[in-house]
């Protein structure tokens, strides 16, 4: 429990907290009634369910996800779990339920977007970052068409040359050509140098991160 609290207080990578089985943290309550024991079990179950739902989110840079995580952190870091009263348990259960409902809906929306990109979370994340940026394209359908074409081209290159991702500089150059061709030339999306580099960085980072994750 102390190690978990230290991780939270030091603001380590939020995935650390999500990977810790918070429901296994010991709850030491003085038995006053059966109702208290039922509440304690309900609190642990709600905390477990909320943690697992947060952990299943594949876009942890999403501002909404970060906000929900921070709310969970606030609840967890607020007070020693073995000191909370029955009323506080009830309030925490209510707050956790709200977080759970919101992240469940966020996950549903993420999965719908991922399905549009042939179940590829990389491009769902890229799509969301570009929509958040707001100055790439006001027409989401054009953004989707451009990214889908980039995905097709990039996937083909990686499949044909499995060593391509070992040469990051060359891969960046290839992806930049692809991005400019699909966004600017084919979809007629007005790109400046900064926006082109930003899109390319998102694309390259997703492939590189996936490549090294699989190689571990």
Provide DSSP, the chain. Answer: -HHHHHHHHTT--HHHHHTS-GGGS--------HHHHHHHHHHHHHHHHHHHHHHT-S-TT-HHHHHHHHHHHHHHHHS-GGG--HHHHHHHHHHHHHHHHHHHHHHHHHHHHHHHTTT-HHHHHHHHHHHHH-SS-S-HHHHHHHHHHHHHHHHHHHHH-TTGGG-HHHHHHHHHHHHIIIIIIIS-----HHHHHHHHHHHHHHHHHHHHHHH-
pTM as predicted: 0.83
Low-confidence spans in the chain with pLDDT less than 70: 1-36, 77-84, 215-216
pLDDT at res. 24: 45
Task: Give the pLDDT confidence score for residue 92 in this predicted structure.
Answer: 87
What pLDDT sits at residue 29? Answer: 52
pLDDT at 7: 52
């Amino acid at each position: 429990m102390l190690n978990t609290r230290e991780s939270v207080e030091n603001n380590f990578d939020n995935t650390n907290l999500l990977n810790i089985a918070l429901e296994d943290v010991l709850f030491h309550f003085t038995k006053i009634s059966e109702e208290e024991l039922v509440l304690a079990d309900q609190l642990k179950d709600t905390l477990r369910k909320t943690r697992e739902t947060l952990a299943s989110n594949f876009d942890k840079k999403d501002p909404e996800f970060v906000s929900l995580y921070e709310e969970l952190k606030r609840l967890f870091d607020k007070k020693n779990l073995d000191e909370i009263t029955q009323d506080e348990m009830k309030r925490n259960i209510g707050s956790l339920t709200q977080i759970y409902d919101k992240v469940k809906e966020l996950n549903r929306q993420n999965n719908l977007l991922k399905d549009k990109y042939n179940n590829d979370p990389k491009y769902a994340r890229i799509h969301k970052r570009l929509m958040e940026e707001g100055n790439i394209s006001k027409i989401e359908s054009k953004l989707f068409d451009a990214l889908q074409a980039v995905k097709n081209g990039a996937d083909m290159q990686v499949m044909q040359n499995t060593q391509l991702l070992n040469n990051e500089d060359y891969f960046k150059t290839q992806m930049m050509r692809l991005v400019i061709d699909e966004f600017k030339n084919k979809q007629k999306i007005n790109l400046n140098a900064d926006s082109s580099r930003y899109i390319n960085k998102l694309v390259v980072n997703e492939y590189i991160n996936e490549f090294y994750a699989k190689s571990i």
